[in-house]
Amino acid sequence: MLFSCDDRKNVVTARGKVNIDVYATDPGQSPKLSYLCECKNWNKKIPKSVVYTFRSIVSDTGANWGLIITRKGFQKGAFEAAKHTNVMLLDWQQFQELFVKRWYKQHMIRIVSKEAKSLVEYTEPLNSSIQEKVLRLPKEKQEIFFSLQKRYSMLAFICLELEYYYKIHDDGYPNLPLINEWPNLKGEISKEILLATSFEELLQSLIKIIRLAIEEFDSILKV
In this predicted structure, what is the pLDDT of residue 149? 95
* Residue at 124: amino acid letter: E
In this predicted structure, what is the pLDDT of residue 27? 77
Strand residues in 31-151 grouped as ranges (E): 33-40, 65-70, 87-91
Domains present along the chain, CATH in parentheses = 4-85 (3.40.1350.10), 100-221 (no CATH)
- For 18-59, the pLDDT digits (tens) are 888 988 888 777 778 899 999 999 999 999 999 999 999 999
How high is the mean pLDDT of the chain?
89
Spatial CA neighbour of 69 closest among 18, 31, 24, 14: 24
In this predicted structure, what is the pLDDT of residue 106? 85
26 and 39 Cβ atoms separated by less than 8 Å: no
In this predicted structure, what is the pLDDT of residue 184? 82
Range 143-159 average pLDDT = 95
pTM above 0.85, yes or no: no
Of 25-29, 32-36, 145-149, 202-206, least confident by mean pLDDT is 25-29
In this predicted structure, what is the pLDDT of residue 1? 44
Whether residue 158 is predicted with pLDDT greater than 50 in this model: the reply is yes
Spatial CA neighbour of 182 closest among 161, 156, 209, 151: 161
- For 4-22, the pLDDT digits (tens) are 555 566 777 767 788 889 8
Percent of the chain with pLDDT over 90: 62
Of 68-72, 93-97, 116-120, 205-209, least confident by mean pLDDT is 93-97
- For 110-138, the pLDDT digits (tens) are 999 999 999 999 999 888 999 999 999 99
Whether residue 218 is predicted with pLDDT greater than 60 in this model: the reply is yes
Q: Three-state SS for 89?
A: strand
Cα torsion 162, 165, 166, 169: sign: negative
Band (pLDDT 50/70/90 cuts) for residue 167 is confident
The Cα–Cα gap between 213 and 194 comes to 17
